A and B are shown apart, each in its own frame.
Chain A
């Protein structure tokens, strides 16, 4: 099955700096890669996603890049703010019929933005 590795597990940056979180996946057939943000005591919320036919997607301060050859995708947050502090999860989804409903998540990255 799919295996997703996420790095780093913790990341601390100064307000205004950029943050980058990277995920690698094992199944070259995976075709959907979302990123979720989990704030303390809350459920995760989708912040950005990318499909396998696209190399990069941007939404204001957040961007995701996908390298299908190397099987990795990264989350980039620019001009970080204290409210960006949260746990971030990446995920990969495979299109196989027998596993059509499965999504595999990374272990999460705890991002701390210092004022």
Chain B
């Protein structure tokens, strides 16, 4: 089954404790992206990748890192999480490296930073 898989789905952590949210897609998509969703603010793009070893900042990249060493994986790293990073995170992928065309979303990872 074609899908985007995120882990963990739910996480409660404390300020400053490094964490990684993994994202994997099995559709051989070129493009992958991370979003955060906060009440009243919609989906805001954190980082995106148009191909392996190519990443770029979205609208809200502060406090996050990403890497794209393999085509299928695009982990989101929070080196030193803070409470303002409490949010619902979505990973998405698209066939085209330009991001045009359908985005396939994971089911989301709800992160709480205490």
User: Is B33 among interface residues, defined by CB-CB distance under 8 A?
Assistant: yes
B99 CB contact (under 8 Å) in A6, A41, A49, A100: A100
| Complex contact B41–A43 (CB within 8 A) | no
Number of A-B contacts (CB under 8 A): 69
A96-115: which have CB < 8 Å to B?
A: 100-108
Q: In the assembled complex, which residues on chain A have CB atoms less than 8 Å from the CB atom of B45? A: 102-105
Q: Nearest residue in B to A4 (C-beta to C-beta)? A: B42
- B99 near A107 (CB under 8 angstroms)? no
Give chain A's interface secondary structure class: strand
Find chain A residues with CB under 8 A from B35 CB.
Answer: 105
- The reply to whether B41 and A93 form a contact with Cβ atoms under 8 Å apart is no
B104: chain A residues at CB < 8 Å are: 43
Task: Knowing A34-B103, A44-B105 are in contact, say whether A101-B31 is a contact too (CB < 8 A).
Answer: yes
- Could you list which residues of chain B lie within 8 angstroms of chain A, going by C-beta atoms? 4, 31, 33, 35, 40-45, 48-50, 56, 58-59, 90, 92, 97-108
